[in-house]
Amino acid sequence: MLEIRDLRAGYGQSMVLNGVNLDIAHGTVTALLGRNGMGKTTLCRVLIGLLPMTSGTITLDNDSISHMAPHRLARRGLAYVPQGRSIFARFTVQENLDLGLSARGGRIPPHIFEWFPMLAELRGRRAGTLSGGEQQMLALARALVAEPSLLILDEPSEGLQPSRVTAIGDVLLRIVADKRVTVFLVEQNLALVRRVAAITAFLVDGVIAGGAAGRDLSPQSPLIQRYLGL
Ligand SMILES: Nc1ncnc2c1ncn2[C@@H]1O[C@H](COP(=O)(O)OP(=O)(O)OP(=O)(O)O)[C@@H](O)[C@H]1O
Ligand SMILES: [Mg+2]
């Protein structure tokens, strides 16, 4: 579905991505693991058009999207949940969801409340009063109301209790099983990745250093020891 070839990008003179090659297969969860500062968020920013790449190509369903602007990428079906969620704390849950529709108009699809039943009950609440886990669910739902074909998640488990991380895993498995969305999951939570990802790649020093099937990644695996230092 998405092919990244020899992607280089950085900030000014300092290069962060030094030739990333990665495929994201349609209808899967593909995960990217990597330590702090390896460039995971930088890769997300390039994918959604917020940071220009220095060189390389990105192809979505055989069309080049290498230098597309963010709003066009959104129309092509890309959605992004940034690290730290960035929901609108003073707005209600419903208003946050409505903002997710602003790019395409229309109404909130009914399957959103099937995937996130707790949000139906919380519609009138200000987002800032929700728990961390509920806020992350809201951020996921807001990205999904526009019915993207590819959902890019930047460390959705960060700062959440284990039970909330499990709930996020449940939702990701459900949305992929419903065949509506492909997921690119950037994470440092190995347990979540092992549970949901079909394929896992490692980002090390700006290149993809290895890949493995999600379930094969035991904490004792040499890949984990080498690339996450666990
Ligand atoms: N806006 C910026 N300007 C300059 N350098 C930046 C900027 N954002 C990130 N960097 C640098 O780029 C490198 C990669 O950062 P990035 O945020 O992509 O890493 P990351 O893998 O997402 O880390 P984390 O796991 O902590 O989120 C780091 O050395 C970081 O300091
Ligand atoms: Mg990051």
Q: Once rounded to an integer, what is the mean pLDDT over residues 166-194?
A: 93
pLDDT tens-digit series, residues 83-132: 987 899 999 999 999 998 876 778 899 999 999 999 999 999 999 999 99
Q: Return residues with CB closer than 5 A to ligand 2 (ion).
A: 40-41, 83
Condensed to tens digits (0 to 9), the pLDDT of residues 174-184 reads 999 987 899 99
- Give me the CATH topology for the region 2-227: Rossmann fold (3.40.50)
Residue nearest to atom 27 of ligand 1 (CA): 36
How many angstroms separate the alpha carbon of residue 125 from the centre of ligand 1? 33
| Region of residue 205 (left: phi > 0; alpha: psi -120 to 50; beta: else) | left
Query: Using CB atoms within 10 A of its CB, is residue 126 exposed (0-12), middle (13-18) or buried (19+)?
Result: middle
The domain segmentation of the chain, as residue ranges, is 2-227
pTM over 0.75: yes
Could you tell which of 7, 11, 47, 202 is best to mutate to test the pocket of ligand 1, judged by most ligand atoms within 8 Å of the CB? Answer: 11
53-84 residue pLDDT tens:
999 999 999 999 999 999 999 999 999 999 98
